[in-house]
Amino acid sequence: MSVKVADLLWEMLVNAGVKRCYGIVGDALNPVIDALRRNGKIELIHVRHEEYGAFAAVAEAYFTGNPVVVCGTAGPGVVHLFNGLMDARKEGAPVIAIAGDVETSLMDTAALEELNPHKFFEAASLYTGRVVNPEQARAVFHTAILTAILEKGPTVISLPGDIASADAATHSTGITIPATPVLRPSDADLNQLVSMIDIAKTVAIFGGDGCREAHDEVVELARRLKAPVGFALRGKQWLEHDNPNAVGMTGLLGYGGAFGAINDAELLLMLGTDFPFSEFLPGESVKKVQIDKNPKHIGRRTAVDLGLVGDIKATVSALLERVHDKPDSRFLDKHIADTNSFHELLQHYVEKGPGIKPIRPEFLAATLSDVASDDAMFFADTGTAVIWLARHIKGGRNRRLFGSFSWASMANAAPNAFGAQLAYPGRQTIALCGDGGFTMQGMGDLLTQVQRKTPVVQVILNNDSLDFVNIEQQESGIVPFGVDFKNPNFAKVAEAMGAKGIRIEEPADVKEALAEALAYKNGPVVVDAVVDPFALSLPSHVPFHTVKGYTLSLAKQVLSGRMDSVIKTMERNVRLI
Ligand SMILES: Cc1ncc(C[n+]2csc(CCOP(=O)(O)OP(=O)(O)O)c2C)c(N)n1
C-alpha cells in the first residue's frame, strides 16, 4: 500500500515520542484518523469536547515533557481547541494540534467550516503550517514537532483532507530531537553578580517555574546566603518542600512572609520567574537581579539592575562555586518568624473546621492534603480552588500541583487530572473543581472517564456561585452580581452517569469521604462537597485598594438590602467561628 501524507505524519509523531492524541474526528479529519488507526502506535483519546482534550494534553505534556497531540476538525472543531492551546502556550507545554482544514480546492472561498489557520491561531501557536501540497508535508511536520518540543509550547499543523489522503512525496520519517544545551551566563557576568551579593547585607530569593529542576541548588544558595525564599504560584511546587528558608508566596494568593522578605531585602534574586503582578514586586529601593533562560522575561515586570540569561540549575550551580557565605541570619529569622505566625492564621479554619457547617474550604483542602499520597498530583480550577490549593495543599518532592496558573481559564482541573492519569496510570490524580468549572466542562467528559474507567478524583467545591468573581467584585467595591446559580446534587448526577458519587455536607464526614474517594480505583469519583460560599481569603499583604473596595462593597450591599449576606461574610471571616 502506498504511504499517504497522513501516514507520514503519524509515523513522524511516533518517532518524536507522541503516545496519545486527544480530540474528536469528522469531516476533514477522517482520512487523518484513518491513518492513525492504521498506524496503531498512538492512542486516540476520544473526548466529548475538544477543549477538554486540549487541557488534558497540556497536563500530560507539561509533566512528561513529551509532545502530545490534539485534533479537531475544520472550523468549529478547531475553534474548540483554542483555549487549551493558549493554556499550553502560557504553561509551556509541548502540544501539537492537528487542525482539519477544508479541501485545497475550496480555500479562500468562504466554504463551509473554512477558517484561516494562520489568522486564527496567531495568538496561541508558536508555529502554524498549512499543508497545501504533499511536497511540503515533511518539512511542515518536522518544524511543528521540533518547535513544540524545543520551545515548549503549542504548534499547529493545518491539514486538508485531500492532502492527508494524497500520496506522500517522501518515506523519510526519522526525526532527531536535539538534547537541551546547558545555558549559563559568562564568567564575567557571574562575577558581577557575586560582587552584588557580597555588597548586599541582606538577600532574598523569589523563584518561579524556571526552578523546576533546581530545587537543591536554590535551597543550598539560600542556606549559604541566609536568604528567605519566596515563590510565585508556579514556583511553589519546586521550592517550598524540604526548604527551611521557604517563606511562602506573594501576590493576591500570597501567604507567609514572602511579601515582606522580598520588599525588605537589599538585594532580590529573581530566579526563573515571569510573575505578572508588578505591584507585589519591590520598586527602586531594592536592587534586583533577574535570571531566566528566556531573555524576554528579563525586566518586563519590574526594572532590574542586572539581567542574566541562563538555566537556573546551571547558573546557580556555577554561582555556588563562587559565592561567599553570609554569617548573619537575623533577616532570615525575622521573615521565617513572620511566615510561622501567618501560618497560624491560616490554620484557624483548618483547626476549627470539624465544628463548622457549611464546610470551610480551608478545612476540606487541608484534609485532602493530609489523606492524599506522597506522590499525588493535584489540579485546581481557576477560581477559589486555586487559593485553597496554594494555601492548604502541601507539596513534596514527588507531589505535583498544577492549574491554568498563567492563562487562568476556568474548567481546567478535571481535564488536567484526566490527562495526568493517562500519563501516570494508578497515581492519585485529584482535581479540585469549582462548581462553575465542573459544569462548564467537567461534567460532559465525565462520560469519557467513565467509559475508560479512569480513576480520577474530582472534588467539587459546591458553593452555588462563581465565588472567585464574587470576591473579586467585592474587592473592587461593587455589589456582587451575576455570580449565583443553583446546583444539582453532583454525587447523584455522577452516579447516574456511571461514576462513583460521594456527597459531603457534614464536616465530620470530610476525612472519611475523601479517603474513600482516593481508595476507589475502578473509575472516576465525584466528591460533591457543600462548602461555605462566604469563605473569604485575603493575601498576606493586602493592598490599600482591596480594603477600600471591600468596605465600599459591603456598604453598598447594606444599602441595597443585602444585610444578611454582609453579616454572614463578616461573621464567617473574622474568626468569630
Ligand atoms: C473560561 C473562563 N470564563 C470566565 C472566567 C472568569 N472567572 C474566573 S474565576 C471564575 C469563577 C469560577 O467559579 P467556580 O468554578 O464556581 O469556582 P469558585 O470560585 O466558586 O470556587 C470566573 C467566572 C475565566 N477565568 N475563564
Instruction: State the distance from the centre of ligand 1 to the C-alpha of 383, rounded, in angstroms.
Output: 5
The vertex-423 CA angle with 18 and 419, nearest 5°, equals: 95
474 pocket-lining for ligand 1 (C-beta < 6 Å): no
- Structure confidence at residue 561 (pLDDT): 64
537 pocket-lining for ligand 1 (C-beta < 6 Å): no
- Structure confidence at residue 251 (pLDDT): 86
- Structure confidence at residue 550 (pLDDT): 57
Q: Report the C-alpha gap between 4 and 164 in whole angstroms.
A: 7
Residue nearest to atom 17 of ligand 1 (CA): 434
Instruction: State the distance from the centre of ligand 1 to the C-alpha of 403, rounded, in angstroms.
Output: 13
Phi-psi region of 454 (alpha: psi -120 to 50; beta: other; left: phi over 0): beta
DSSP string, 196-250: HHHH-S-EEEEE-GGGTT-HHHHHHHHHHHT--EEE-HHHHHHHSTT-TTEEEE-
Give yes or no for a contact between 82 and 478, defined as CB atoms under 8 angstroms apart: no
- Structure confidence at residue 509 (pLDDT): 98
Residue nearest to atom 8 of ligand 1 (CA): 383
Q: Give me the residue label for grid cell 488534558.
A: 56
pLDDT, mean of each 10-residue run, the chain (577 residues): 94 98 95 97 98 98 98 97 98 98 96 96 98 98 98 98 97 94 96 98 98 98 98 96 96 90 97 95 96 96 97 98 97 97 91 95 97 98 96 96 97 98 98 98 97 98 94 86 96 98 98 98 98 76 63 63 62 60
435 pocket-lining for ligand 1 (C-beta < 6 Å): yes
Q: Report the C-alpha gap between 507 and 577 in whole angstroms.
A: 14
383 pocket-lining for ligand 1 (C-beta < 6 Å): yes
Give yes or no for a contact between 479 and 473, defined as CB atoms under 8 angstroms apart: yes
**Run of H or E residues at 462:** strand 456-462
Show the beta-strand stretches assigned E in 12-73: 20-23, 43-46, 68-72
- Structure confidence at residue 12 (pLDDT): 98
- Structure confidence at residue 573 (pLDDT): 66
Nine-digit cell string for 354:
470539624
